[in-house]
Amino acid sequence: MGYQLSGSQLIFNSPAGQTSRLTGWQRRFGHTRVLGAYVLFTALISFGTLAVFAALIQQPLVFPSLGATAFVFYFSSNSVQAAPRNVFCGQLIGVVAGVFALFVFGLLDAGPDLVGVSWPRAGALTLALCLTLAAMVWLHVPHAPAGATTLIVAAGLITAPSQLAILLLAVLVMIGQAILINRALGVPFPLWGPRGDASA
């Protein structure tokens, strides 16, 4: 039985009802098989490129929540959470909230808790996550993987300004890849806001 999720089913249909280049494969081999192959192929190109570049320059261009972002980009490209605006703004909110939480609990200069979790760290993690989730709702830029990003920052794993800048650069690079890859393969994908939004 194939997936029945509307977000994944929409991936192969244009807003005008025209079929994408992948629709023929979907009809021949089945929706789930084609969607799985599409996610495999696109994630390999997108994340693999970033991983290789990260190894070359020895910088944190790859981090756990970026993997979740990649899945959203290629599994449900038409979803609100995949819109470039929501991805970038959500991740930015996660970074800012994480840094703010570290500041509030006096952990800006502290390294990560490698064994156990201190009370200040527990407070920072909780505050960062709650602020991130609420801010994304208030600002209408939902992107669930940003919840993981803010925890990475609040945990003290990535805190240096240069590292945070590189983290956001990686998000921008992956957004650019998603736009190019999806559109090149005939999969509708917005340039900025969600489809149907005036800024899309």
- How far apart, in whole angstroms, are the C-alpha atoms of residue 182 and residue 8? 13
Amino acid identity for residue 65 in this structure: S
* pLDDT band at residue 19 under the 50/70/90 scheme: low
Question: Which whole number is the average pLDDT over 115-132?
Answer: 96
pLDDT in tens, 161-183: 999 999 999 999 999 999 999 99
Average pLDDT of the residues of the chain: 88
pTM: 0.86
Weakest mean pLDDT among 7-11, 112-116, 129-133, 141-145: 7-11
CA distances (Å), 109 to each of 15, 121, 123, 147, 159, in order?
49, 12, 16, 22, 9
> In this predicted structure, what is the pLDDT of residue 152?
96
CA dihedral (23, 27, 31, 35) positive or negative: negative
Question: Which whole number is the average pLDDT over 176-193?
Answer: 94
pLDDT at position 23 over 90: no
Task: Give the H or E element holding residue 108.
Answer: none
> In this predicted structure, what is the pLDDT of residue 100?
99
- How far apart, in whole angstroms, are the C-alpha atoms of residue 149 and residue 155? 10
Residue 48 CB neighbours (<10 A): 11
Pick the closest to residue 34 from 18, 20, 14 (CA basis).
20
CA distances (Å), 100 to each of 89, 92, 154, 164, 178, in order?
16, 12, 9, 13, 30
* pLDDT band at residue 150 under the 50/70/90 scheme: very high
> In this predicted structure, what is the pLDDT of residue 29?
80
* pLDDT band at residue 25 under the 50/70/90 scheme: confident
Pick the closest to residue 13 from 42, 34, 41 (CA basis).
34
- How far apart, in whole angstroms, are the C-alpha atoms of residue 77 and residue 97? 26
Phi, psi of 8 (to 5 degrees): -75, -35
pLDDT in tens, 72-120: 999 999 999 999 999 999 999 999 999 999 999 999 999 898 788 999 9
Six-digit token string for 16: 């005008």
